[in-house]
Amino acid sequence: MSQKKQSSMTSLISAFARAYHMEHDEPIVFHDFVARKLITSEEFTAIGENMTRGIHFFNPNADHQFSGDPNQMLKWITQVQLSPITLARSAYSEQVMLQEAALGVKQMIVLGAGMDTFAFRHPEMEDELDIFEVDLPSEQKLKKERLRQAELVIPHNLHFVPMDFTREMIHRASWSSLFRNVKTMFTLLGVSYYLSKEDLCRLIHHAFAPLPAGSSIVFDYADEHLFQEKGRYNRVANMVKMAAMGGEPMLSCFTYKEMEHLLEKAGLLIYEHLSPVEVQERYFSQRTDDLSAFETIHFIHAVKK
């Protein structure tokens, strides 16, 4: 699969996870009432059917456990494998974005935005906050098509920046001319695993070099157990395996100390860090279904000194 197709499919599956959650799970971890509008009915059905067909990869005992019921199979695979990271990191980054906006951040830069819907769900921010979505040109073309089909009007504070930021921001510092030199918040969700440690370090350094103190970033990362931990129902091992099979292998995992050092080199301090245990406590405690925090995945909010 080409990088363009892989990227588009990843963003559609993430949107599917958020949309499915809104329709089928209770209580709601992340309220994304726009995601469903960005996926056609045919795609929604096809993604669900593909997940169900592939369930034996994730659960060899599925036929017996679910008596052949495809709806139960889809719910299980979505709650166990597909949704936990997406829902929790979206909820966390949104919480930080709203906090930072209240504290005077004027610019949000969403790296690898995919089918992000923040700007459409927060019209109250239109006059206060510039939002830049940075992603591959093909990804942004697809998103604009979906917005048009859904008859969603692009708010005037939302700006699309077509760029392979994993190349341009890592290897060139000149990208910063695209944005204002004001207090800024970045989000980098679902990306750090696929970059080398050196490239992640360079990306963060280049991103923050021109920006004032108080600028910050929210991102997720995998800890040092990524390649050994099996996880519940083998889901961590399956995630690593699927990434490799999709042609985009996971490259990096970090100890907390390594991550602290990497951020310090770029002039940032960790303001908040959520371990899997803390993610579970904040977003998934007291649930009676299969949604739970994904092993090895941590969230960080770091701020420029």
Q: Model confidence over 211-220: pLDDT tens digits? A: 999 999 999 9
Higher pLDDT, 178 or 36: 36
Do the Cβ atoms of 218 and 96 come closer than 8 Å? yes
Reported confidence tier of residue 9, pLDDT bands at 50, 70, 90: confident
- What pLDDT, on a 0 to 100 scale, did the predictor assign at position 168? 80
**Residue reference for tokens 């985009």:** 248
pLDDT at 172 over 70: no
Q: Which amino acid appears at position 140 of this protein?
A: Q
Say if residue 69's pLDDT is above 70: yes
In the structure encoding, which two tokens stand for residue 55, read together?
A: 């369930």
The tokens describing 229, both together, are 């931990």
Share of the chain above pLDDT 70, in %: 95
Question: What DSSP character marks residue 175?
Answer: G
Percent of the chain at pLDDT exceeding 90 = 88
Distance (Å, whole) CA 25 – CA 20: 8
- What are φ and ψ of residue 300, in 5° steps? -135, 140
pLDDT of residue 293: 98
Q: What pLDDT is stored for residue 2 in this prediction?
A: 47
Per-residue pLDDT, 219:
98
Domain total of the chain? 1
User: Would you say 141 and 11 are in contact if contact means Cβ atoms under 8 Å apart?
Assistant: no
What confidence score (pLDDT) does residue 10 get? 86
User: For residue 264, which of 300, 298, 223, 224 has the smallest C-alpha distance?
Assistant: 300
Judged by DSSP in three states, 158 sits in strand
The tens digit of pLDDT for each residue in 113-171 reads: 999 999 999 999 999 999 999 999 999 999 999 999 999 999 999 999 999 988 887 66
- For the chain, give the mean pLDDT: 94
**pLDDT tens digits, one per residue of 181-221:** 899 999 999 999 999 999 999 999 989 988 999 999 999 99
For residues 174 and 293, the model is more confident at 293
Residues in the chain: 305
Report the C-alpha gap between 192 and 264 in whole angstroms. Answer: 17
Average pLDDT of the segment spanning 248-275: 97
Give me the domain span that covers residue 106. Answer: 3-304
CATH code for the domain in which residue 272 is found: 3.40.50.150
Q: How far apart are CA 238 and CA 37, in angstroms?
A: 29
Per-residue pLDDT of 41-61, as tens digits, reads: 999 999 999 999 999 999 999
CB atoms closer than 10 angstroms to residue 129: 20
